[in-house]
Structures are given as structure tokens and as C-alpha cells.
Amino acid sequence: MLPFHQVVTRQLGDVRLQAYLHDVTAPVVLTFASGNAALTEGNEHTDNWGFGFLKKRGFNVISFNHIGSQNLFRHTALVAFLAELTPQLERFPERIGYGVSRGAFALGIHADALLLDRILMLMPISTFDDRLAPWEPKAIHHSLGTDWSKGYNDATVCRCPVTLIYDPLYPIDRQHALRFGSAKAHLKIPGVGHHVADALAEMGLLSETVTRYLDNRLDVLGFPAKVRARRRQQRYFSKMAQNPTGKNTIKRRSIIRYHWLRWQCSNMDKVLKRTLSKWRRSLSKRLPMPMTRA
């Protein structure tokens, strides 16, 4: 049993649990971290992905974060803990899942054990099993040496209603989204690739979208109009210029390049800032970290 009114941190195999429960009469939100939020020696003292955001807004929150980049939330210690957690989750009036990419996959494979009533998934990866998704490069990578015979390999087994947010022009994410038979709503944000969360954040819509969903107030019909602001992002023109569907005519490609050039000329400061940021990230991966003295 998880205690109330205190932050709880536990390690479950290669997963870290962080939870804060304070009101049994309110919904509880369960999150699993996205792939790029793995805990390492450099960030092990930070909060779990999504924990601080939800706690600050007054939600009951139970978060799970993977330790190491290869983790797919399938450790036996995690599975055993979730089975023990089920009776406590029954006490809450509603159990809501929120996850991005790999985190959405984890919510799907554990949805039944968590008794989830509904899930918000951003650009979900439905499976890392290359037998189910041979078109997914991540599945090919993660399937090397992985035994899928014990299950926990397909997020689409979840039976609760799922709301999906993804780029329908990005073929891989589109195929993942179409595998979810329990999808209640498909909210589409074309032209951003596998960067839906970043695109929403740049538009100032990520926090609003998540909190409105958790409060059951998300305006599904008004979503397309809100995300039109993506057309003012460099990422949008870059992705569209790549012709993700392979169906752009010569005329359409010319129009996209024209508007991309106009955007760059009008936003030289953003172009320079983004370029410098990419260079720094690239250099940080290649250069050894300097030793610091105590």
C-alpha cells in the first residue's frame, strides 16, 4: 500500500516509482516516462517524468520512470508491484493514464492491472515487437535478444478508451495509431513528426491539453483550430519539406519551400538559436566531460 500525504520513492527492478496521494475522493493519474527521459547517473536526483507537473496541479499521481535507455517497463519486479497496487487503485473514483511515446506503450500493456478508465497517449508506440510492427525501427532494435513469449509486448490489448494525439502524415506514428482498436478519439497535428509534445509545448498548448483532458474538459472538436499555430514553427516546414507521405506534387513542394524560406527570413534569431543548440548537443556527445574539483 502506498501511504498518503507524503512523497514515496521506490525502485522496482529497473524502474523507479514516485508517488504522491492525498485525496481518495479524487482521480489518480498514472504516468510512465517517455523514452528520452531515462534516469542515468547524471539525473538520478530529478523527479520522475510528469510527477512534478501533476503534483503541482493538485492531482493524485503515481509515476514510473525507466532506469537506462533500453528499459521497456517489463521488469518482473514492476509487474509484481502493479498486481499488489490494484486493490488500492480500486478506492479511487477514476484512474487516468497519461503517457508519451514509450510511456504510452507502457500504459497500454499495464492498463488492465492499473484498472485504467481512460488514457491520453501522445504519439504512442503501440509495440516494440518486430513481429507486430516490422515497419518500426525501434522495434527492430529492441527485439534483438528480447523474449516476447511472456507477453507485455502489445499496447493495443488495453480495453479502456484511448485518446490519441499524433501526426497522421508521419507514416510510422500513423500505423501505430491505427492499431489501437479502443481509440475513442484521434486528434491530429500534421507536419510535426514524432515531436508532438514539443510542438504543443512551443505553441503553449501542452499543459492546457493535458490538464483539460485530465479534468474531462478537452475540446476535441476545437483541437484542429488550436494547433494551426504549428504553421509558425520551423519544425513544421522542415517536416513538410521532407515530403513524409511521398505524395507531394512538384507544385506543392515549391509552395512549401517558398513559405519555409519566408519563415526563415522573418525568424533569423530562432533559426540561429536552433542551429547553435543542435551544434552544442552534437559536441556534448563527442567531447569528454571536463573533470571538476571539489
Would residue 54 count as lying in a domain?
A: yes
pLDDT given at position 290: 46
User: What is the C-alpha separation between 190 and 244, in angstroms, rounded?
Assistant: 10
Give the CATH number for residue 25: 3.40.50.1820
Average pLDDT, the chain: 89
Reported confidence tier of residue 291, pLDDT bands at 50, 70, 90: very low
Please give the model's pTM, rounded to 2 decimal places.
0.84
Q: What Cα–Cα distance (Å) separates residue 115 from each residue in 79, 90, 111, 160?
A: 14, 8, 6, 9
Higher pLDDT, residue 228 or 271: 228
Reported confidence tier of residue 243, pLDDT bands at 50, 70, 90: low
User: What is the C-alpha separation between 209 and 100, in angstroms, rounded?
Assistant: 13
Number of CB atoms found within 10 A of residue 42's CB: 8
pLDDT given at position 139: 93
DSSP 120-179: EEES---B--TTT-TT-HHHHHHTTT---TTS--BGGG--S-EEEEE-TTSHHHHHHHHT
Q: Are residues 22 and 74 in the same domain?
A: yes
- As for how many domains the chain has, the answer is 2
Does the CA dihedral 214-187-237-135 come out positive or negative? Answer: positive
Domain that holds residue 190: 8-231
User: What is the C-alpha separation between 156 and 98, in angstroms, rounded?
Assistant: 15
Higher pLDDT, residue 252 or 97: 97
Q: Are residues 265 and 171 in the same domain?
A: no
pLDDT given at position 46: 92
Question: For residue 3, is pLDDT > 80?
Answer: yes
Q: Are residues 214 and 87 in the same domain?
A: yes
pLDDT given at position 49: 97
Question: For residue 30, is pLDDT > 80?
Answer: yes
Q: What Cα–Cα distance (Å) separates residue 128 from each residue in 97, 119, 137, 172?
A: 20, 19, 9, 12
> For 181-221, how does the pLDDT look when each residue is reduced to its tens digit (9 = 90+)?
989 999 999 999 999 999 999 999 999 999 999 999 999 99
Q: Are residues 264 and 191 in the same domain?
A: no
At 66, is the secondary structure helix, strand, or coil? strand
Reported confidence tier of residue 287, pLDDT bands at 50, 70, 90: low
> For 99-130, how does the pLDDT look when each residue is reduced to its tens digit (9 = 90+)?
999 999 999 999 999 999 999 999 999 999 99
Q: Are residues 211 and 270 in the same domain?
A: no
Would residue 239 count as lying in a domain?
A: no
Q: Are residues 253 and 217 in the same domain?
A: no
Q: Are residues 158 and 252 in the same domain?
A: no
pLDDT given at position 162: 98
Top mean pLDDT of 91-95, 226-230, 274-278, 280-284 is at 91-95
Average confidence (pLDDT) over 80-91: 97
Q: Write out the E strands in the chain.
A: 8-12, 15-20, 28-32, 60-66, 95-100, 118-122, 162-166, 183-188
